[in-house]
Structure 1
Amino acid sequence: MTNPIADPGHGHSPAAWVAVTIMLIGFAIGTVFFCLEQSTGVWISAAIVVIGAITGVVLAKAGYGVKGPKYAPKAH
Protein backbone atom coordinates (compact mmCIF):
# COMPACT_ATOMS: atom_id res chain seq x y z
CA MET A 1 0.00 0.00 0.00
CA THR A 2 1.40 3.38 -0.97
CA ASN A 3 0.90 6.67 0.76
CA PRO A 4 -0.63 9.47 -1.29
CA ILE A 5 1.72 12.32 -2.06
CA ALA A 6 0.98 15.21 0.24
CA ASP A 7 -0.05 18.27 -1.73
CA PRO A 8 1.83 21.25 -0.31
CA GLY A 9 -0.68 23.59 -1.98
CA HIS A 10 1.66 25.44 -4.31
CA GLY A 11 -0.14 28.54 -5.48
CA HIS A 12 -3.53 27.56 -4.13
CA SER A 13 -3.97 30.41 -1.67
CA PRO A 14 -5.33 33.93 -1.82
CA ALA A 15 -1.85 35.26 -0.97
CA ALA A 16 -0.32 33.51 -3.99
CA TRP A 17 -3.09 34.52 -6.37
CA VAL A 18 -2.95 38.19 -5.39
CA ALA A 19 0.86 38.29 -5.57
CA VAL A 20 0.99 36.64 -9.00
CA THR A 21 -1.80 38.85 -10.37
CA ILE A 22 -0.04 42.04 -9.28
CA MET A 23 3.28 40.82 -10.70
CA LEU A 24 1.70 39.82 -14.02
CA ILE A 25 0.18 43.28 -14.34
CA GLY A 26 3.58 44.79 -13.59
CA PHE A 27 5.27 42.64 -16.24
CA ALA A 28 2.59 43.47 -18.82
CA ILE A 29 2.85 47.20 -18.22
CA GLY A 30 6.64 46.96 -18.23
CA THR A 31 6.59 45.20 -21.58
CA VAL A 32 4.50 47.97 -23.11
CA PHE A 33 6.78 50.67 -21.71
CA PHE A 34 9.85 48.75 -22.90
CA CYS A 35 8.45 48.61 -26.44
CA LEU A 36 7.70 52.33 -26.26
CA GLU A 37 11.27 52.96 -25.02
CA GLN A 38 10.04 54.68 -21.84
CA SER A 39 12.64 53.79 -19.22
CA THR A 40 10.80 55.54 -16.39
CA GLY A 41 7.74 53.38 -17.02
CA VAL A 42 9.88 50.25 -17.09
CA TRP A 43 11.33 51.10 -13.66
CA ILE A 44 7.90 51.88 -12.25
CA SER A 45 6.71 48.50 -13.56
CA ALA A 46 9.68 46.81 -11.92
CA ALA A 47 8.62 48.44 -8.65
CA ILE A 48 5.09 47.07 -9.15
CA VAL A 49 6.54 43.57 -9.51
CA VAL A 50 8.47 43.97 -6.25
CA ILE A 51 5.34 45.33 -4.54
CA GLY A 52 3.46 42.22 -5.72
CA ALA A 53 6.04 39.93 -4.15
CA ILE A 54 5.95 41.88 -0.89
CA THR A 55 2.15 41.79 -0.91
CA GLY A 56 2.22 38.00 -1.20
CA VAL A 57 4.55 37.67 1.77
CA VAL A 58 2.46 40.08 3.87
CA LEU A 59 -0.78 38.26 3.04
CA ALA A 60 0.81 34.89 3.83
CA LYS A 61 1.98 36.19 7.21
CA ALA A 62 -1.52 37.62 7.80
CA GLY A 63 -2.93 34.09 7.51
CA TYR A 64 -3.96 33.92 3.86
CA GLY A 65 -1.13 31.57 2.83
CA VAL A 66 -1.42 27.83 2.26
CA LYS A 67 -1.11 26.90 5.93
CA GLY A 68 -2.63 30.07 7.33
CA PRO A 69 -5.66 30.07 9.61
CA LYS A 70 -7.72 32.23 7.22
CA TYR A 71 -7.19 29.91 4.26
CA ALA A 72 -9.86 27.31 3.49
CA PRO A 73 -8.68 24.81 0.85
CA LYS A 74 -11.19 23.70 -1.75
CA ALA A 75 -11.56 20.11 -2.92
CA HIS A 76 -10.37 19.42 -6.45
Structure 2
Amino acid sequence: MAGSSHGHGHTPAAWTGVIISFIGFLVAGAFMVMANTVGFWAGMVLILGGAVVGGIMRAMGLGSDPKPLKMVGAPVATPEPVAVEG
Protein backbone atom coordinates (compact mmCIF):
# COMPACT_ATOMS: atom_id res chain seq x y z
CA MET A 1 0.00 0.00 0.00
CA ALA A 2 3.00 2.27 0.10
CA GLY A 3 2.60 3.29 -3.52
CA SER A 4 -1.14 3.90 -3.44
CA SER A 5 -2.35 7.35 -2.55
CA HIS A 6 -5.95 8.42 -2.54
CA GLY A 7 -5.21 12.07 -1.77
CA HIS A 8 -5.81 11.48 1.94
CA GLY A 9 -4.64 14.57 3.76
CA HIS A 10 -2.87 16.21 0.84
CA THR A 11 -4.94 19.40 0.90
CA PRO A 12 -4.42 22.90 2.31
CA ALA A 13 -7.28 22.33 4.78
CA ALA A 14 -5.71 19.15 6.15
CA TRP A 15 -2.20 20.60 6.39
CA THR A 16 -3.39 23.76 8.14
CA GLY A 17 -5.59 21.90 10.61
CA VAL A 18 -2.83 19.43 11.48
CA ILE A 19 -0.16 22.12 11.89
CA ILE A 20 -2.35 24.19 14.22
CA SER A 21 -3.27 21.10 16.24
CA PHE A 22 0.37 20.01 16.42
CA ILE A 23 1.36 23.41 17.79
CA GLY A 24 -1.45 23.02 20.32
CA PHE A 25 -0.06 19.64 21.40
CA LEU A 26 3.40 21.18 21.82
CA VAL A 27 2.03 24.06 23.88
CA ALA A 28 -0.15 21.82 26.05
CA GLY A 29 2.71 19.37 26.60
CA ALA A 30 5.20 22.08 27.54
CA PHE A 31 2.85 23.75 29.98
CA MET A 32 1.84 20.40 31.46
CA VAL A 33 5.50 19.72 32.29
CA MET A 34 5.79 23.22 33.78
CA ALA A 35 2.63 22.58 35.85
CA ASN A 36 0.88 25.63 34.39
CA THR A 37 -2.83 24.93 34.14
CA VAL A 38 -3.73 28.03 32.13
CA GLY A 39 -1.07 27.34 29.50
CA PHE A 40 -2.14 23.70 29.26
CA TRP A 41 -5.75 24.68 28.55
CA ALA A 42 -4.59 27.29 26.03
CA GLY A 43 -2.86 24.46 24.17
CA MET A 44 -6.03 22.38 24.32
CA VAL A 45 -7.97 25.29 22.80
CA LEU A 46 -5.40 25.43 19.99
CA ILE A 47 -5.93 21.73 19.30
CA LEU A 48 -9.67 22.24 18.93
CA GLY A 49 -9.04 25.41 16.94
CA GLY A 50 -7.03 23.39 14.42
CA ALA A 51 -9.99 21.08 13.88
CA VAL A 52 -12.36 24.03 13.46
CA VAL A 53 -10.06 25.86 11.02
CA GLY A 54 -9.54 22.67 8.98
CA GLY A 55 -13.30 22.11 8.84
CA ILE A 56 -13.98 25.69 7.76
CA MET A 57 -11.31 25.49 5.06
CA ARG A 58 -12.78 22.20 3.83
CA ALA A 59 -16.22 23.82 3.65
CA MET A 60 -14.66 26.63 1.60
CA GLY A 61 -13.50 24.08 -0.98
CA LEU A 62 -9.88 23.69 0.08
CA GLY A 63 -10.31 20.05 1.12
CA SER A 64 -10.54 16.92 -0.97
CA ASP A 65 -13.67 15.95 -2.84
CA PRO A 66 -15.32 12.91 -1.29
CA LYS A 67 -14.90 9.96 -3.65
CA PRO A 68 -16.78 6.67 -3.47
CA LEU A 69 -14.71 3.74 -2.28
CA LYS A 70 -13.71 1.18 -4.89
CA MET A 71 -14.57 -2.41 -4.20
CA VAL A 72 -11.59 -4.75 -4.03
CA GLY A 73 -12.05 -8.44 -4.80
CA ALA A 74 -15.17 -10.35 -5.69
CA PRO A 75 -18.54 -8.75 -5.01
CA VAL A 76 -20.47 -10.04 -2.04
CA ALA A 77 -23.64 -11.91 -3.00
CA THR A 78 -26.82 -10.54 -1.53
CA PRO A 79 -29.63 -12.96 -0.75
CA GLU A 80 -32.67 -12.85 -2.98
CA PRO A 81 -35.94 -11.87 -1.29
CA VAL A 82 -38.11 -14.87 -0.47
CA ALA A 83 -41.80 -14.73 -1.31
CA VAL A 84 -43.99 -15.83 1.58
CA GLU A 85 -47.31 -17.37 0.67
CA GLY A 86 -49.92 -17.13 3.28
**Do the structures match in fold with TM over 0.5?**
yes
Q: Aligned to 1:15, which of 7, 13, 18?
A: 13
Count how many residue pairs are aligned between Structure 1 and Structure 2: 63
- Give the TM-score normalised by the residue count of structure 1: 0.77
Is 1:66 equivalent to 2:64 in the alignment?
A: yes
Higher share in helix: 1
Moved beyond 2 Å, runs of 4+: none
Which structure has the greater CA radius of gyration?
Answer: 2
**Percentage of matched positions with identical amino acids:** 33
Is 1:34 equivalent to 2:29 in the alignment?
A: no
- Give the TM-score normalised by the residue count of structure 2: 0.68
| Larger RCO: 1 or 2 (CA < 8 Å, sep 6+) | 1
Summarize deviations over 1:10-43 as a string: whole Å, max 9, x none: 1110000000000000000111000000011101
Q: Which blocks of at least 5 consecutive residues in structure 2 are unaligned?
A: 67-86
Q: Which blocks of at least 5 consecutive residues in structure 1 are unaligned?
A: 1-5, 69-76
CA RMSD in angstroms, aligned pairs only: 1.6
